[in-house]
Structure 1
Amino acid sequence: MNGADVLCDVLLANDVTVCFANPGTSEMHFVAALDRKPQMRCVLGLFEGVVTGAADGYARMTDRPAATLLHTGPGLANGLANMHNARRALSPMINIVGDHAAYHLPLDAPLTSDIESLAKPMSNWVRRIAGPDDVAPATEAAFRASLTPPGVTTLILPADAAWGEVGAASIGKVKLAPPPAVDMDAVRTVAAAIRAAPGRAGIIVRGQVARADALAVAGQISTGSDVRLFSEVLIARMQRGRGRVAPTRIPYPIDAATALLRDIDVLVLVGAREPVAFFAYPGKPGRLVREGCQVLTLAAHGEDLSAALEALRDELGIKPSQPTAFATAFPDAATPSGQLTEDAIALSVAHKLPADAIVCDEAVTSARRFFALSAFAAPHDYMMTTGGSIGGGIPLATGAAIACPGRKVINLEADGSGMYTVQGLWTQARENLDVVTIVFSNRTYAILHGEMRNVGVGAIGENARRMLDLDQPSLDWVCLAKGMGVEAARADTCERFDALLESALSRRGPFLIEAVL
């Protein structure tokens, strides 16, 4: 038994059964070991950003880590953007990065690099395996670190540690420490602050408390103590739809966000962080809460968020039978017709969304209306790219579809963002994943046009336009998808889009709709 075999066995013993991979020469012994382990599902991504993004989507839907396999420092570097998104989503992930044999590193061969320094900013935990006998303890440590608390871990596997013979290795399930007990002092402090600010307190939920059962408790607190309920701007995963409590998402634009929060005297964080502006703008604040707002943490990531929320409900004297408000029927709206628009797409998707679907939203500016409408749609899971690094949508949908093969996945995708990881469509075709990709084809980085206005640029010239627009030539998403093996069609009217969406939702397998705006 060599080190690569042991690494596989430790992963499998701890129910890590999917490996998203883009291997190279240094990883061939690990590839051979994976070949001997049919229990491990190996999924090839044609770009490392697809690999790490798919592992993120898988983790969000299972609350368990997948493994990734990356080739030395440059391969890791190609995957860093979606590792960043995963780290911001608090997703468990085990990255296995192959490296040269230890004795080969002093020769400074072309692919030699400082892998630890590359990995550290996008990882919660990094370790280099010292040799064959260190493989088992190092892999167990990586698994433990990926879940306590959940986050991104990176394990560096030198080639000689992979091919080296291992002595006796004890392989079994890793014991994980339970989350700490609820901090009742924090519960009492938060409850007192809420009582002292009737109608002027808010709660931001994130993580496990953005799931349906915990949202119901948050809704009881909201109704019973007149507390407003919010979510962060970028959502890692939230259970949405009819019959579920629907928090208000804090807007991206600073003026809208500060207006929403201006009358909040007490803001309670449950697994969340204080909301701040994405960027600095001349004359605008970085913090979104008003001066003097009391920001309190009920429970942080890694703690038992649901138990803390229940304890707060009890401390406030709210009974578990307390009714709460749920989203029900869609608001009245005329059925759109004629030229296709962003709002028409949002309405159509929200109305036609199948029960228990998974929505991966990377449409950026184009699908802003969908989130509000999703409160009235069939029950579903909703997630976004959480780190602000574009190129996560197609890989997220890929990983989610592998995690939940019985559920329909809908990817709302901006055309500019989609081009960062378009290779993920090939993986969807190869794995026959049940993903409907809707590309908002406006042939521009629309958000950057808005950012130019935000920094005070009233009109742009030819140089700026050429950096912000995706025309000359325009992208042809139907041809791109078909080149990756995914069936695709184009819609430029509401009627055509509705028909294509109905067809795509009625069948299994990957399908792409280019929605021309």
Structure 2
Amino acid sequence: MNGADMLCDVLLTNDVNVCFANPGTSEMHFVAALDRKPQMRCVLGLAEGVVTGAADGYARMADKPAATLLHTGPGLANGLANMHNARRAHTPMVNVVGDHATYHLQHDAPLTSDIEGLARPMSHWVGRIGTSAEVRVRTEEAYREAQMRRGVSTLILPADAAWGEVQPDTLSPVVLPQPPAVPAGTLSAAAAALRSGRRAVIILAGRALRAGALETAGRIAAATGAALFSQTSDRTERGAGRVAARPVPYNVDQAVQALREFEVAICIGGREPVGFFAYPGKPGTMLPPACEVIQLAGHEHDLSGTLDALAGFTGVGRDAPFLANRFTQREIAAPNGVLDADSICVAVARALPEGAIVIDEAITSGGRLTALSPGLAPHDHVPLTGGAIGEGIPLAVGAGVACPDRKVVAMQADGSGMYTVQGLWTQARENLDVVTVLLSNRAYAILQGEMRNVGVNEFGRNARRMLDLDSPDLDWCLIARGMGVEAARAETIGRFIDLLDAALARKGPFLIEARI
């Protein structure tokens, strides 16, 4: 038995049984060990951004970590952007990064790099295995930290630690401590604020946006008159029969306007809302300056339990009423007219099946679907959390692996789709049940909007060449078919509806290029 075998066994003992991988030479002993462990599902990504993004999507839906396998510092570096998104989503992930044998580092071979320095900004925990004898304890530590911090652990595996012999041992799952408790004084202060008569808002994030926690928040809101808002989080359980929390708008002016009336804000699962970017003459925080902010619980807490406790402190019983979303999906009229972002969103909303997983990297084009989502059949919404574009296709890979019996509908902008387009190949290889709605406006429309936000309304030649994606046009049908995914193009709303209905009725990956 060698160190690589031990690392695999520790992961499997703790129910980490999926490894998204893009290995290299230094990881061959780990690859050989994985080959001896049929319980581990190994999923190849053709780029490391696919690997880390897929591990993010998997953990968001499976509520447990996946492992990744990356090749030295450059391989890790290629996956950092989606590690950033995972870090912002508080996604548990165990990255295994291979390195040179410890005695070879002195030679400064071409792939030698500061792996710790690369990993640290995008990881909640970074550790290096010194010898094969340390593999078990360091792997258990990586798993524990990923779970307890709800974040990214990066474990560096030198080649000689992987091939070195270890003594077989009886393994048992890591015992995780209970989440920290929210102080009674903070709960009491939040309850007093809700009963004070001041205009109050409860701002939810993270696991506070799961159905049960939302229902409790809805009871508190109905009893106290507080408003419910949400921030971008790992996933939100949306749809009819559930409680809707209004998303804090991305646009600074709209966010300030939406939150302008509140005198006290209670934040559960995240901090107070801030602007994505700074703009001249605009605030960085979205709440009014005089608003009292009570940070009740962070991502590390039991957020459902925190809301239960807040309800108790506020005198709201488990049988108290709440405002459930009414089912309105059948009332949505079929779109007609031009094929544009709004008509596409309406078509998707009308057809969305119960239990669907909506991956949202539509960027500027998905607002109408968000607005309609409370009245649709119950579904999960999985967004881009950290703002590093290029995660939509990989998130769909991870969600498809985690939930093979649920339809994944990926709303994907064309510009961000090109960052990790290789994920389509993995969808085809794994035969994942993913429908990708590719919104092809042939532009970085989000950046065009940001130019206008800073006062530039007329774009010259250089600006257009940096913000447009035409000349040449991207042919997404050819791209998808080249990756093994069946695809078709829609240039009218009628054609789009026909393709969507057909794609939802079948199993396996399918891409619809919607030319808007």
TM range (shorter): over 0.9
Alpha-carbon distance between aligned partners in 1 of 2:332 and 2:485, rounded to the nearest angstrom: 33
Following TM superposition, by how much is the alpha carbon of 1:471 offset from its aligned partner in structure 2, in angstroms?
Answer: 0.1
Partner of 2:434: 435
Following TM superposition, by how much is the alpha carbon of 1:338 offset from its aligned partner in structure 2, in angstroms?
Answer: 3.2
Partner of 1:492: 491
Alpha-carbon distance between aligned partners in 2 of 1:365 and 1:336, rounded to the nearest angstrom: 19
Q: Give the letter aligned to residue 87 of structure 2.
A: R
Instruction: Mark the runs of 5 or more structure 1 residues left unpaired by the alignment.
Output: none
Structure 2 length-normalised TM: 0.98
Partner of 1:261: 259
Whether the 8 Å CA contact 2:327–2:377 is kept in 1: the answer is no
Query: Is the partner of 1:296 in helix, strand or coil?
Result: strand
Partner of 2:75: 75
Moved more, 200-209 or 97-106: 200-209
Partner of 1:245: 243
Whether the 8 Å CA contact 1:217–1:310 is kept in 2: the answer is yes
User: For this pair of structures, how many residues does the alignment match?
Assistant: 515
The within-5 A match list for 1:376-395 is 376-395=375-394
- Is 2:308 aligned against 1:310? yes
Instruction: Mark the runs of 5 or more structure 2 residues left unpaired by the alignment.
Output: none
Alpha-carbon distance between aligned partners in 1 of 2:155 and 2:309, rounded to the nearest angstrom: 38
The within-5 A match list for 1:297-336 is 297-330=295-328, 334-336=333-335
Partner of 1:449: 448
Partner of 1:19: 19
Following TM superposition, by how much is the alpha carbon of 1:312 offset from its aligned partner in structure 2, in angstroms?
Answer: 1.0
Q: Deviations over 1:3-31 (max 9, x none)?
A: 00000010011110000000000000000
Following TM superposition, by how much is the alpha carbon of 1:456 offset from its aligned partner in structure 2, in angstroms?
Answer: 1.2
Whether the 8 Å CA contact 1:429–1:510 is kept in 2: the answer is yes
Query: Is the partner of 1:282 in helix, strand or coil?
Result: coil
Whether the 8 Å CA contact 1:197–1:266 is kept in 2: the answer is no
Q: Give the letter aligned to residue 12 of structure 2.
A: L
Structure 1 length-normalised TM: 0.98
Partner of 1:121: 121
Whether the 8 Å CA contact 2:332–2:350 is kept in 1: the answer is no
Alpha-carbon distance between aligned partners in 2 of 1:256 and 1:282, rounded to the nearest angstrom: 16
Partner of 1:136: 136
Alpha-carbon distance between aligned partners in 2 of 1:460 and 1:84, rounded to the nearest angstrom: 31
Whether the 8 Å CA contact 1:136–1:171 is kept in 2: the answer is no
Following TM superposition, by how much is the alpha carbon of 1:334 offset from its aligned partner in structure 2, in angstroms?
Answer: 4.5
Query: Is the partner of 1:20 in helix, strand or coil?
Result: strand
Following TM superposition, by how much is the alpha carbon of 1:62 offset from its aligned partner in structure 2, in angstroms?
Answer: 1.2
Partner of 1:466: 465
The within-5 A match list for 1:105-504 is 105-198=105-198, 200-232=199-231, 234-330=232-328, 334-504=333-503
Whether the 8 Å CA contact 1:136–1:169 is kept in 2: the answer is no
Q: Deviations over 1:411-468 (max 9, x none)?
A: 0000000000000000000000000000000000001011001111121100000000
Alpha-carbon distance between aligned partners in 1 of 2:70 and 2:389, rounded to the nearest angstrom: 20
Identity of counterpart residues, as a percentage?
62
Whether the 8 Å CA contact 1:197–1:265 is kept in 2: the answer is no
Alpha-carbon distance between aligned partners in 1 of 2:306 and 2:71, rounded to the nearest angstrom: 42
Q: Give the letter aligned to residue 383 of structure 1.
A: V
Following TM superposition, by how much is the alpha carbon of 1:329 offset from its aligned partner in structure 2, in angstroms?
Answer: 3.7
Runs of 4+ in 1 over 4 A off after TM superposition: 331-334
Following TM superposition, by how much is the alpha carbon of 1:195 offset from its aligned partner in structure 2, in angstroms?
Answer: 1.7
Query: Is the partner of 1:260 in helix, strand or coil?
Result: helix
Alpha-carbon distance between aligned partners in 2 of 1:31 and 1:3, rounded to the nearest angstrom: 12
Whether the 8 Å CA contact 2:99–2:159 is kept in 1: the answer is yes
Alpha-carbon distance between aligned partners in 2 of 1:386 and 1:62, rounded to the nearest angstrom: 17
Query: Is the partner of 1:420 in helix, strand or coil?
Result: helix
Q: Give the letter aligned to residue 13 of structure 1.
A: T
Whether the 8 Å CA contact 1:93–1:152 is kept in 2: the answer is yes
Alpha-carbon distance between aligned partners in 1 of 2:240 and 2:493, rounded to the nearest angstrom: 25
Alpha-carbon RMSD: 1.0
Query: Is the partner of 1:220 in helix, strand or coil?
Result: helix
Alpha-carbon distance between aligned partners in 2 of 1:384 and 1:456, rounded to the nearest angstrom: 28
Alpha-carbon distance between aligned partners in 1 of 2:5 and 2:233, rounded to the nearest angstrom: 37
Alpha-carbon distance between aligned partners in 1 of 2:396 and 2:476, rounded to the nearest angstrom: 17
Q: Deviations over 1:340-366 (max 9, x none)?
A: 011111111111111011000000001
Alpha-carbon distance between aligned partners in 2 of 1:132 and 1:418, rounded to the nearest angstrom: 40
Alpha-carbon distance between aligned partners in 1 of 2:153 and 2:332, rounded to the nearest angstrom: 47
Q: Deviations over 1:294-346 (max 9, x none)?
A: 11112112112111111111211122111111221438664322320111111
Query: Is the partner of 1:375 in helix, strand or coil?
Result: helix
Alpha-carbon distance between aligned partners in 1 of 2:168 and 2:55, rounded to the nearest angstrom: 31
Q: Deviations over 1:243-281 (max 9, x none)?
A: 110100000000000000000111111111110001111
Alpha-carbon distance between aligned partners in 1 of 2:20 and 2:332, rounded to the nearest angstrom: 43
Alpha-carbon distance between aligned partners in 1 of 2:391 and 2:135, rounded to the nearest angstrom: 31
Whether the 8 Å CA contact 2:216–2:311 is kept in 1: the answer is yes
Following TM superposition, by how much is the alpha carbon of 1:167 offset from its aligned partner in structure 2, in angstroms?
Answer: 2.9
Following TM superposition, by how much is the alpha carbon of 1:58 offset from its aligned partner in structure 2, in angstroms?
Answer: 0.4
Whether the 8 Å CA contact 2:229–2:246 is kept in 1: the answer is yes
Moved more, 304-313 or 401-410: 304-313
Q: Give the letter aligned to residue 164 of structure 2.
A: G
Query: Is the partner of 2:358 in helix, strand or coil?
Result: strand
